[in-house]
Amino acid sequence: MPKRKDKLTSAIGWSTPDRINVHGLDLPSEVLGHVNLGDMAFMQVTGRKPDARESVVFNAIAVTLVEHGITPSALVARLTYMGAPESLQAAVAAGLCGLGTVFVGSMEGAAKMLYAALPKGTDGADLPAIAKQVVADHRAAGKIVSGLGHPVHKPVDPRAPRLFEIAAENGMSGDYVALIQLIQQEAEAASGKALPINATGAIGAICCEFGFPEEIIRGFGVMSRAIGLVGHILEETRDPMAFEIWQRAEEEILETSGPGRG
């Protein structure tokens, strides 16, 4: 539990009758029209505007996380909206609730693994040796390596090389990107299976290049997916699938588990 404190404080911003300040900047004159939505997300997390290169890389990460097709999360938002169309916000909220350890958590897991293997500020590390150790430790513990492997995208997740390219073009490709690539090679060699770096692995590594605190990395997935879910809800208003999915499930269960079967 946190300690009691005398006064509540917040460095995010403030407003008076004629001024609105966020992260030390005047919102109307210094932010609106000057930054894009990804930059604003960067500001919320770091407290400062990204420079031009950081902006490109961070926006690419955030854009990657917006849309992953008919995910469980998208199904949840659509099914929820069917029951409460007056509460679009609750349908998005419901969709976000499932972005836990199984899906979005792998981004956080990749970053944690990289930070643990190569603490921030380390210089001149023997990356191949570290990669070998990481893979050996995971194999000894019977654990999969976060950020590697994809059920569909084999032998390559096409987002990963593109994200690494964007990072490299903008000076954001350093030891963490190199390390996850070495870990991937080790893991493939050790397992004899295709284990591509997936999008969450690439993003986890690039987040380490930014130095983002690991406990907030999942938040990038959450914010981006909120955007994606609004798109799914809009499509659901025009071309619904929730009702059909529900009816099929009910009918199938009545057939398998109904009177005389259950």
Minimum gap (Å) between residue 192 Cβ and a copy of itself: 19
Spatial CA neighbour of 79 closest among 251, 253, 241: 241
C-beta closer to a copy of itself: residue 51 or 215:
215
In Å, what is the CA distance from 13 to each residue of 92, 160, 196?
A: 26, 35, 42
Does residue 173 belong to the site contacting a copy of itself (CB under 8 A)? no
Residues 67-86 binding a copy of itself (CB under 8 A) are: 67, 69-73, 75-76, 79-86
C-beta closer to a copy of itself: residue 131 or 200:
200
Whole-angstrom Cα distance, residue 256 to residue 144?
Answer: 35
Does residue 120 belong to the site contacting a copy of itself (CB under 8 A)? no
In 3-162, DSSP assigns E strands to 13-16, 19-22, 25-26
Minimum gap (Å) between residue 202 Cβ and a copy of itself: 11
Token pair for 212: 């983002």
Residues 235-254 binding a copy of itself (CB under 8 A) are: 235, 237, 239-247, 249-250, 252-254
Count, residues near a copy of itself per rule CB under 8 A = 133
**From the list 48, 51, 101, 193, which residue makes contact with a copy of itself (rule: CB under 8 A)?**
101
C-beta closer to a copy of itself: residue 94 or 130:
94
C-beta closer to a copy of itself: residue 189 or 222:
222
**20 in helix, strand or coil?**
strand
Whole-angstrom Cα distance, residue 236 to residue 81?
Answer: 8
Considering only 113-121, 126-134, 173-181, 233-241, which stretch makes contact with a copy of itself by CB under 8 A? 233-241
Residue 85: is the preceding peptide bond cis (ω within 30°)? no
C-beta closer to a copy of itself: residue 60 or 131:
60
10 Å CB burial of residue 167 (0-12, 13-18, 19+) is buried
Q: In 10 A of CB 251, how many CB atoms?
A: 11
Does residue 211 belong to the site contacting a copy of itself (CB under 8 A)? no
Residues 48-67 binding a copy of itself (CB under 8 A) are: 55-56, 59-60, 62-64, 66-67
